[in-house]
Structure 1
Amino acid sequence: MRLILLFLFTSIFVDAQNNLLTPFEKGNKNQSTTYEECIEFYQELDKKYASILMIEQGLTDSGKPLHLVFYSSDNVFLNTTKKTVLLINNGIHPGEPDGIDATMMLMRDLASGKIKTPKNTLIAAIPVYNIGGMLNRNSSSRANQNGPEEYGFRGNGRNYDLNRDFIKSDTKNSRSFQKLFTELNPDIFLDNHVSNGADYQYTFTCIATQHEKLGSTLGNYFKNELYPSIVKDMNKKKIDVVPYVNVHSTTPDKGFEQFTDTPRYATGYTTLFHTLGFVPETHMLKAYKDRVHVTYEFMVSTINFADANWEKIKQMRNVAIEEFTPGKQYPLQWALDSTKVSYIDFKGYEGGYKPSDISGKNRLYYDRSKPFTKKIPFYGNYKPTQFVTIPKAYIIPQSQWQVLDILKLNGIAYTQLQKDTIIEIESYKIESYQTSKSPYEGHYGHYNTKISKSIQKVKFFKGDYVYNTNQTSVKYLVETLEPEAVDSFFNWNFFDTILQQKEGYSAYVFEDMATQILAENPTLKQEFEAKKQSDKAFAENGGDQLYWVYKHSKYFEKAFMQYPVYRVN
C-alpha cells in the first residue's frame, strides 16, 4: 500500500511539474510558445503561487489587452520606494522570441524557489508587448535566423514597428506601455531582442543605453559599476558579453561604435525618466536553446545586482533628478566622440569578399573555420553638440489636444490657467527644416530643424496648460517640446499645420496696397531696395517682390511657422 501511495504521489508531483513546463522545455528547445500558451502559462502561475500576479494594463492594436506579470517575494505588488523595480519587456519584435520563453521560465523559477529569491526587488514583466505580431505566426519572415521553428512577425496588428513608437505614440500598444511605465517607475529596464548583421563567436551582445544621457552621476555609476558588475557575473557563468555589434555589410574587425538609442526606441525613451536600460541582443545565427539560455542568465544576473544594490540604485536615481533643473543647460544633440576609444578582445570570424553566385559581383562572407580573437577599437562615448537652457515652464494652448493627451499618458504634471492671462514668454519661429522623401513608420518626418527666438507678451486663456520643469519628467518635456530635438513632437509631424499658410492675397488688389505700405514705411522701403540690389533673382521676379512686401506687412498671418509651444524663462 505504501508503494502504491508513493507511486501515486510521485505521479501527481511529476504531472504538476510537467504542467508548469513551457512549450520551449517540452519540445526539443527549438520551439517557442504561442501567444495563447504563454498567457495560459502565466494564469497557471498566478493560481499556483501567491508571489505571482498577472494584471491587464490597457489595450493593444490587436484588440487584446496588454498583460503585466509581477513577482514579489513578500507577495506585495505595490511599487514602493523600499524595493528596486525591474521591468522586463518581451516580444516588441515577436520574430525575436528569446525573451518570451526565457521570462516564462524565470518567473516560474523565482516563484518555485529554484533560483535565489530577491528580497529587495520587485520584478515586473510584459509577457508579450507586440501581441498582433505574435499572432501573425510564421516560419519564414526572419530569413537569416537560426530557429525557433515558428515565431511572430516584426510589425504589429497595424504593421507598426513598436520599437520606433515611444514618442509619436501611433499605437495603442505604445499608449498602454507609457501609462504602465510611468506608474511603475522602474529603476531598471530590460528589452529582450535578437540581433542581425555581422557574424562573430558571441551568443550574447548588449546595448547598454548611452550613459551620458543619464547625467554625470547616474551615467558614471551605470557605466563604471552597474554594467561591469553584471558582465562580470555573466563571465563567471562562462558567458561572454560584448557590446551590440552595430555593423552591417562589412566586418567588425576594424572596430565599431555604440548604438545610439534616441527617444523613439525603448531604452532611449526610458532613459528620459532616469531609468537604467539594457537591450540584450542574442545572435541570430546561434542555436535557439543557447540564445534563450543566455537571455535567462542575463536577467538573473541583473536581478541579483539590483537586489544587492537596491539602496544605491535608488540614491543614484534621486541624485540624477537634481542634475536637470530649470536654468541648467540640457544637451539636445549628440555626436560620436571619436577621441575616446577603448579596445576590446573581440572574438570574430575571418571575413572577406568573393564573387556572388547571383550577380557575379563581390559579396561579403564569413569563414567559421577561421575564428580569431583580436583587439579592436570600440567607440562607446558621445559628446553633446547643441544645448538648450531648461526653461522654468512650457505653456501649451488647450487647442493642442493631441500633444496634451500624450503628455498625460506619460504622467507629466501640469496646472491649468484659472483665468485669461498675459504672460511674457520666449517664442519660437520655425525658420527651416528638411523632410524625409520616404515614409518612415507612417510619417514623413522632419530633421535639421532650425528656429529663431523672440521675447513676447502673449495672451493665454483659461484652461491652457502649464508644465513646470521642476519635475522628474523634465527630460521628456525637453526632448519632445524643443523642436530641434531629434525625436521632438515637431519632427514627428505633430505641428505640420503651422507649415502651411491659410490666407493669401489677390495680386491685382495687393499691388496698390504694397505701394502704399512701402511709402508709409521708409525703413522697410530701404530694406526692400537693398534686397533688390543684392539678390539678382529677386530683382527679376515681380511675384517674389510682392510676396516679400506682404510677408513684412501687418496682413501676413502670425500663425505661419509660429511654434505653438511657449517657454517661460
Structure 2
Amino acid sequence: MKFFTIPLLLLTISIFAQKDAKYSTHFEKGNGNQTATYQETIAYYSLLAKDFASIKMIEMGATDSGDPLHLVIFNPEKSFDLDKIQKNKAVLLINNGIHAGEPDGIDATMQLFRDLALGKIKIPKNTVVSTIPVYNIGGALNRNSNSRANQDGPEIYGFRGNGRNYDLNRDFIKSDTRNMKSFTEIFHKLNPDVFIDNHVSNGADYQYKLTYIMTQQNQLGSVLGTYLDGEMMPSIVLDLQKKNIPTTPYVNAFSETPDNGFAQFFDSPRYSTGYTSLFNTIGFVVETHMLKKYADRVKVTYEYMTSTIDFMDANYQKIKQKRSKNEEQFEPRKSYTIKWQLDTTKVSKFSFLGFEAGRKKSEATSGDRLFYDRAKPFEKEIPYLKEYKSVKEITIPTAYIIPKAFWNVIDLLKSNKIAYTQLKKDSLIEVESYKIADFKTSSSAYEGHYIHRDTKISSKKEKLAFAKGDYVVATEQKGIKYLLETLEPEGIDSFFNWNFFDTMLQQKEGYSDYVFEDTAAQILKDNPKLKAELDQKKKQDPKFANNPQVQLEWVYKHSVYYEKAHLQYPIYRVL
C-alpha cells in the first residue's frame, strides 16, 4: 500500500491543480495588470453557474449598449426564491463597473464568487451574495489605455461614459438610461440589506490603498444611521486592519491637500448609495487609490467585500431589525429634512497616513505645480467633519396627487414599486399647491440636463378640480423617502431640479402692449386694491417705477389673463 501512496498523492494534487486552473480568472492568468473584458466576465460567470448549483446567473433587462444586464446570485442552499431568501437571510448586492475604467471590482468579485463556490473562504450561512458583474456594459466595450490619465493600471480598461456617454453614477433619480431602468428592477426584486458599489478614486496622494464612502448617516435616518456609523462601519474597518489593510473615509479634501482635513462625502440621491438609502439599504462605495498597483487594488477590494459579508452574516437579524425600525421614522405629518448642510461646529479628528506635499516649478507649464514626496510619509491627526445638519424641513403630506398627464413621473414611480390609486371620478379636493418662486440653472450641460438648484417655492391651500384617472400616491409606504426626495421641488435631486417640469417655466401665451394697455387701465379702475398695490410698489422700487413695460407686465400677471400653468408646480400635496 505504501508503494501507491506517493503516486496517489501526486494524482490528487494534480486533480486539484487542474480544478483550480479551470476556475482561474483572466486577471489571475495574466501579469497582475490585466482585467477581463465584458465577454470574458460573462463567460466566467456562465461557467460558475454551469458547474455549481450554488450560483445562478439571470438576464435582467436591457442596457443602452443593446446587451442585457446580468444578475449573479450565490446561495449555498441552492435556492433562488428571492421572496423566501429576503425573509430568512440578509442580502448583499455588489455593483461593478459603473465606471468601466475602474474595473477593480469586476475582477475581485469573480474571484469572490469562485472562492465561495469552491469553499475556499468561509461560506456565509445567513447571507446571500449577489452581483451585477458589469453595470456599464457600453463603457466596458469601449476599451482603451488612455482615458484614465492618472490611474496606474490595468493595461486596458473601459470608459467612464456608457453607450450614450452618460455617467451612470449620476442617473439614479433621473433614470435616463436603460441601464438604470434594469437596475431598478434588480434592486427592488432583491431588496438588498447592504449594497456595495466598487470604484477607483481620483484626487490626493496618500498611503492608503483603499478608501470608502458610507451612506451619509444623518440622511439615512437616526436608527440605521447610528448603527452604521457607530457599529457596522467601525467593525468593518477593524477587520480590514487585522488583514493589514489600513483604510480611511474617502478623501474629500477642503484644500489642495488633505493635511487640513476633509468632510464626509454627501451622497445625494443621484448617486448609487444615495438612491439605495431611500429604501433603507445600507450603502458603501469602495474607492481604491488610483496610484496603487492594480493587483493591490483588486486584493483590497476583495477583502473589503469579505469583511462586509462576515459582518452581515454575524449580524443579519440586527441589520434587518434596524432597517425595519428605521422605516418607522418617516410617517405622514412628521417633519422631514429636505436640505442638509455640513455642520462645521462638529469636528472630530483621526490619524491620517499621508505624504508630505510641496510645490515646485512645472516642466510642462509656466507655473508651479503640486507634488507629493513618497519618500516622506507621515502619520498625523487631521480634522474630519462627518455630521450634516438640517437646514430645511417639510411636513410629510398624507398623499401626493399627480395629474395623469405626467406619465413620465408615474412610470418612474411604478418602476420603483410605489403604490398608488387613481381617482374613480372627477373630484374637488383641498390640497397644498406650490408655485416656483425662484431657482438657479446650470450654465453648462450636466448629464444630459441643465440642472436647477437653490429652488424656492411659495405655497397655499386651495380646493382644486382633479380628473378621473389622476393618481393619488399615499406616503405611508416603503418608498416614502423616494417620494419626498423626488416630488418635493426643493430637494437637491428632485424631479423638478432634473428638468422634469421645465415646460411649466415657460409662458405659452402673452399680450401685445398696445392692446393690453386699455385692458390694464380698466383692470386697475375696477380693482382699487390692486391699483393701490401697484402704486405702493412704484414708491418702494425706483427701478420698477421707471420701467412702464415691467409695470404693465405686473398688471398682466395679477389679472385673470395670466396663465395659471406658468410656474405652477403640477404635483399637489394632501395634508
Question: For the superposition of Structure 1 and Structure 2, which TM-score range results when normalised by the shorter chain?
Answer: over 0.9
**C-alpha offsets along residues 314-350 of structure 1, whole Å, 9 cap, x if unaligned?**
1000000100000111011111111111111111101
* 2:100 is equivalent to residue 128 of structure 1: no
Q: Distance in 2 between matches of 1:17 and 1:564?
A: 60
Q: Percent identity?
A: 62
Q: Distance in 2 between matches of 1:506 and 1:284?
A: 61
* 2:456 is equivalent to residue 450 of structure 1: yes
* 2:179 is equivalent to residue 173 of structure 1: yes
**What is the aligned residue count?**
569
The alpha-carbon deviation at position 11 of structure 1 amounts to: 5.0
Number of the residue aligned with 2:283: 277
Note the 1:383-462 alignment, pairs <5 A. 383-462=389-468
Q: Distance in 1 between matches of 2:116 and 2:425?
A: 54
Q: Distance in 2 between matches of 1:5 and 1:120?
A: 38
Judge which range, 555-564 or 337-346, deviates more.
337-346
Number of the residue aligned with 2:20: 17
Number of the residue aligned with 1:355: 361
Number of the residue aligned with 1:74: 77
Match of 1:99 among 93, 105, 118: 105
**C-alpha offsets along residues 180-211 of structure 1, whole Å, 9 cap, x if unaligned?**
11221111000000111000001011111100
Q: Distance in 2 between matches of 1:293 and 1:248?
A: 29
**C-alpha offsets along residues 28-83 of structure 1, whole Å, 9 cap, x if unaligned?**
11110011100000000000000000001111100000000000011112332111
Q: Distance in 1 between matches of 2:539 and 2:519?
A: 23
The alpha-carbon deviation at position 248 of structure 1 amounts to: 8.0
Number of the residue aligned with 1:26: 29
Number of the residue aligned with 1:559: 565
Q: Distance in 2 between matches of 1:492 and 1:111?
A: 43
Match of 2:339 among 333, 342, 367: 333
Where does structure 2 lack aligned partners over 5 or more consecutive residues? none
**C-alpha offsets along residues 328-376 of structure 1, whole Å, 9 cap, x if unaligned?**
1101111111111111111110101111112231210000000111111
3-state SS of paired residue (2:88): coil
Q: Distance in 2 between matches of 1:10 and 1:379?
A: 54
Q: Distance in 2 between matches of 1:10 and 1:475?
A: 55
**C-alpha offsets along residues 78-104 of structure 1, whole Å, 9 cap, x if unaligned?**
332111110000000011100000000
Note the 1:146-545 alignment, pairs <5 A. 146-247=152-253, 250-545=256-551
Letter in 2 for 1:419: K
Judge which range, 203-212 or 539-548, deviates more.
539-548
The alpha-carbon deviation at position 550 of structure 1 amounts to: 1.1
3-state SS of paired residue (2:485): helix
**C-alpha offsets along residues 264-303 of structure 1, whole Å, 9 cap, x if unaligned?**
1000111111110100101011111111011001100100
- 8 A contact 1:183–1:411 mirrored in 2: no
The alpha-carbon deviation at position 119 of structure 1 amounts to: 0.9
- 8 A contact 1:197–1:248 mirrored in 2: no
Please, what TM-score do these two structures have when normalized by structure 1?
0.98
Letter in 2 for 1:78: D
Letter in 1 for 2:232: L
CA RMSD between the two structures: 1.5
Please, what TM-score do these two structures have when normalized by structure 2?
0.97
- 8 A contact 2:254–2:263 mirrored in 1: no
- 8 A contact 2:399–2:473 mirrored in 1: yes
The alpha-carbon deviation at position 6 of structure 1 amounts to: 7.9
Q: Distance in 2 between matches of 1:165 and 1:248?
A: 26
Judge which range, 124-133 or 232-241, deviates more.
232-241
Letter in 2 for 1:61: D
- 8 A contact 2:254–2:261 mirrored in 1: no
Letter in 2 for 1:522: P
- 8 A contact 1:197–1:249 mirrored in 2: no
Judge which range, 245-254 or 72-81, deviates more.
245-254
Match of 2:56 among 53, 56, 81: 53
Letter in 2 for 1:563: Y
3-state SS of paired residue (2:410): helix
Letter in 1 for 2:349: Y
Q: Distance in 2 between matches of 1:28 and 1:154?
A: 24
Q: Distance in 1 between matches of 2:254 and 2:428?
A: 54
Q: Distance in 2 between matches of 1:111 and 1:4?
A: 28
3-state SS of paired residue (1:387): strand
Relative distance call for 1:504 and 1:250 in structure 2 (3 A) is same
Relative distance call for 1:136 and 1:249 in structure 2 (3 A) is farther
The alpha-carbon deviation at position 530 of structure 1 amounts to: 1.5
Q: Distance in 2 between matches of 1:238 and 1:532?
A: 72
Letter in 2 for 1:16: K
